[in-house]
Each structure stands twice: as C-alpha cells, then as structure tokens.
Copies of this chain bind each other. A is one copy, B any other.
Amino acid sequence: MPRLEAILASPFRFEVTHRDPHSKARCGRIHTPHGVIETPNFIFCATKGAIKGVAMEQVMANGAEIILSNTYHMLLQPGPDVVAAHGGLHKFLGWDGPMLTDSGGFQIFSLGHGGVANEIKGRGRANLPKTLLKITEEGALFRSYIDGSLHTLTPESSIEAQQKLGADLILVLDECTPFHSDRAYTAKSMRRSHRWEQRSLDYFRAHDDGRQALYGIVQGGIYEDLRKESGQFVAGNDFFGQAIGGSLGGTREQMHDIVEMVSRYIHPERPTHLLGIGGVADIENGVRNGIDTFDCVHPTRLARHGCALVPNDIGDEHINLKNTRFKNDLAPIDSRCNCYCCRNFSRAYIHHLFKAKETTGGLLLTLHNIAFMSQVVRNIREQIKKT
C-alpha cells in the first residue's frame, strides 16, 4: 500500500496551488492525518468539545471543513486523560475531519487580564472573578473557574495536554497581551513568549508521534519592530505553521493595517492562521495579506442570539430574525443558500422559534451561519483561482 505508507511517512504538507498576482492571496492545501484543508478556510469553534447546540454531522453536512477546540476548557472539564482514553478529541466529540487546538493560554490570560474575551471564555458575559494568579518564567498559575482548584500551565504541560487531545494542528504556549499593554510590557511578554515557544517546540519534538503539527505564534502587539522580531523568531524555528496572535489594535482599520504590516515579517511559505478573527471584511483583508485560515466564535454566537449572516444585498452583514418584521416573512433567510435551514424553513418560522424560546431556532441559524462562512471562503478560493 504505497499510498498509506506515504501518508504515514509525512502526513503534514502545505502546498500552494494558486497565487493572486496582485496580492499575497493564495489557495493552498494543508494535508493532515484527517484530510486536506483547502485554504483559505474558516475554523469553527467547538470551544468545550461541541459546537453549541448542534451535532457534528450537521456541522459537516453544512460545509464546515475544520473545527477547533480550546485546550483551556478541555483541561478543566473533562480533563485530557479521559479524552486520550477515547483515542483523542476526534473520537470524543465525533469529528473525523481536520482539527486544531490552541495552547490554553488565551483564555487564561484574557480571563486574567479581565479584558476583552467574552464568550470565548465559555461563560458568556458574566462579570467573572480574575482567575490568573501569576505569570512566571515557568508558566501561568491560575484557578479553575469550575471548582477554584489551582493549576499551572507551562509550555510543556500545554503541549502534553494537546498531544493527549490529539488535534491535527496544535499551538505553542504564548502570552496573549491585551490591547492596553504598553510597549515595554509587550516587548518583555513577547520575549518570554519566544522562550515558551522554544520550550513548546522542544517538548513537542521529544514526544512527537507524527500525527500532529505545531504552529508558532507571532506576537509583538501594534509595534512594528516587535512584530518583525517575533516574525523572524517564528520563521527561524522549525514550526510547521504560524499563527498571528496578540493585539491587532483598537479598530477594524487598525487591525487591517497591522495584519498587512505583520504579513511582511512572517515566513512566506508556511500555513498562516489569524487567531480569533472572523468578520467577512477581515477575512478578505487577511487573505490579501497571505493568511490561510481564520477562526472566530462570532458566526455561531450570532446564530444563538437570533442573527443570520447574509450577503450585502439582504442585509448589513447580518439580519436579526427576532425582529418583528420577519413575523410573516415566508421567504428563507437566503434563497441562494443551500443549508438545511434555507432549504426547509422560512424567516417567519425562525422568528417564531425565537419568540417561543425554542432552541431549535439557534440550531437552525448556527447551521446557516456555518454554511454562510463556508461559502464565503469557498467564494474567496474560487476568486483566487480565477486570477
């Protein structure tokens, strides 16, 4: 079986199949043990081991090709060992396609800094007590938000947990510095992150079973010299891919500028992920700057709050089905959409479900928004292939 042998010999490979001559936009294929990720692509968030309120068979049937799960949440509940006993997250949560896990750092630091994260923490917008107790050279000491127990996350323990979880693509531990950090803190934090990334890589190599690939993370906040230093650090180490983390500024315009700036300092031939970004305009900007994958809770979160993502000719990014104007609207959300929701249900029905507090409404909109985002990246890939 030469094909199986070849896959076993090198399951991970990134090939660029098309390049836009006018920008850094590109189409590619990330080969993983659980299939190929066509890029550019969008990664849907199964934060706590499920995409909220839906079944994985529906997630896949409506176009999703890759999901992520958050190591922070899986560490605390149910713990990585029970997942490992299942043979990993793929079997645990019923997803046979490509999967990514993060390091666990983002939630610890965003909770700890009391900052921007809301739903990504998995606990909604509640006013939470700070759970980050201390950041040291060794790692981060934090309290479980579930039972108050003390935990330390180190580069080594993050990689160890991610190896137990068994996602295809995994991330180094870094500190996610918030928007309000000054230059001095951002620089100090970034250099510690680099040391953590090196330790993550060393631990990963020592325990690599060939079934996972490691991404480095480029930090440096809004400071060009720091982004350059971080981009070069990550490019100079033997990571399979690279993610762009940390602060991207305070406005959408600044974010687009910083992504453009960072793109000049990263390895040009590695698969590149932009962490936590998922607006359509942001994805389009990212793609122009060579970003291959994106993730964000936004599409599935919006759905649970009654909002459907739509093309510009229907609404401004999304429509809110709870609005009374949809009460008697017999049309589907988007007659051109091929998702389960649009093929079978009217806006009036979705409106009714939210009025009646039936969670099937959130389920149907989640499937629609998954289909919508999948179509967005499919359209982007087709456009690049046409250039």
Interface of A with B (CB < 8 Å)? 48-58, 73, 77-78, 82, 85-86, 92-94, 122, 327-328, 330, 340, 344-346, 348-349, 351-353, 355-356, 358-361, 363-364, 367
Contact = CB atoms under 8 A, between A and B. Distances in A.
A330 B85 contact: yes
A344 to B, nearest CB: 4
A289 B351 CA distance: 43
A352 B85 contact: no
Contacts of A355: 77-78
Nearest to A367: B55
Contact of A358 (B50, B85, B92, B344): B50
A166 to B, nearest CB: 14
Given A82-B328, A348-B78, A55 B356 contact: no
A349 B49 contact: yes
Contact of A352 (B51, B55, B58, B78): B78
B55 A349 contact: no
Contacts of A340: 55, 57
Given A330-B85, A330-B86, A352-B77, A55 B360 contact: yes
A46 B361 CA distance: 13
Contact of A49 (B49, B51, B328, B353): B353
Nearest to A55: B363
29 contacts: A49-B349, A50-B356, A50-B360, A50-B361, A51-B360, A52-B358, A52-B359, A53-B53, A53-B359, A53-B360, A53-B363, A55-B340, A56-B344, A57-B344, A58-B58, A73-B356, A77-B352, A78-B348, A78-B351, A78-B355, A82-B327, A82-B348, A85-B330, A86-B330, A86-B346, A86-B348, A92-B349, A93-B349, A363-B363
Interface centre among A51, A78, A86 (most CB of B within 10 A): A78
A359 B360 contact: no
Given A85-B330, A94-B349, 6 more contacts: A52-B359, A55-B363, A55-B364, A78-B327, A78-B355, A92-B349
Q: Which 4 A-B pairs have the closest CB atoms?
A: A50-B360, A78-B352, A94-B344, A48-B356
B352 A49 contact: yes
A58 B56 CA distance: 12
Given A54-B363, A55-B58, A49 B346 contact: no
A260 to B, nearest CB: 37
B345 A94 contact: yes
Nearest to A351: B78
A50 to B, nearest CB: 4
Contacts of A54: 360, 363
A330 B91 CA distance: 11
Contacts of A122: 356
Nearest to A49: B352
Contact of A92 (B55, B56, B57, B346): B346
A236 B40 CA distance: 70
Nearest to A361: B50
Contact of A77 (B50, B330, B356): B356
Contacts of A48: 356, 358
Nearest to A363: B55
Nearest to A94: B344
A301 to B, nearest CB: 14
Given A57-B340, A363-B54, A363-B55, A86 B349 contact: yes
A101 to B, nearest CB: 16
Contacts of A93: 349
